[in-house]
Amino acid sequence: MNRLAVAVALALACGAARPAVALTGREVIDTAQKRNGFSTWHDRAGEATMETYEKDTLARTREVDIVEQTDPRGEHRTFMEFTGPSDVKGSRFLHLSPRGEKDQQWLWTPSARRVRRLGDAQRDENFFGTDLS
């Protein structure tokens, strides 16, 4: 009986000591897409904080509400409204991905009080003080 208990304990210890098999980069991406990707959601909303850094120092923080929608035809929309700080509060950004057409980006700011479509050249510019483009 003691030999059996020792053998089982030794087998369990040896099995637990084996290193776990590492996932490849592709496997990590595939797993993330299954959990969080387009296959598991159609609409979602959330709040986010965008932080920008200059030489490893926090320079700016922006608060934003985000709503994403994917319709049955596969068209995707992302709407962002900045909620803080006060210099960007109320600014709104809309990204449209119509199926079979070129993506569109639209911007509305309280100071301009009008909607402006962002052209291709403007997409490479910084976005509200961030590297996001």
pLDDT in tens, 52-69: 888 889 999 999 999 999
- For the cut 90, the answer to whether the pLDDT of residue 29 exceeds it is no
CA 103 to chain centroid, in Å, comes to 18
3-state helix, strand, coil in the chain (%, to 5): 25, 40, 35
- Predicted confidence at residue 23, as pLDDT, reads 83
Give residues with Cβ within 8 angstroms of 16, minimum separation 6. none
Where are the chain's structural domains? 43-124
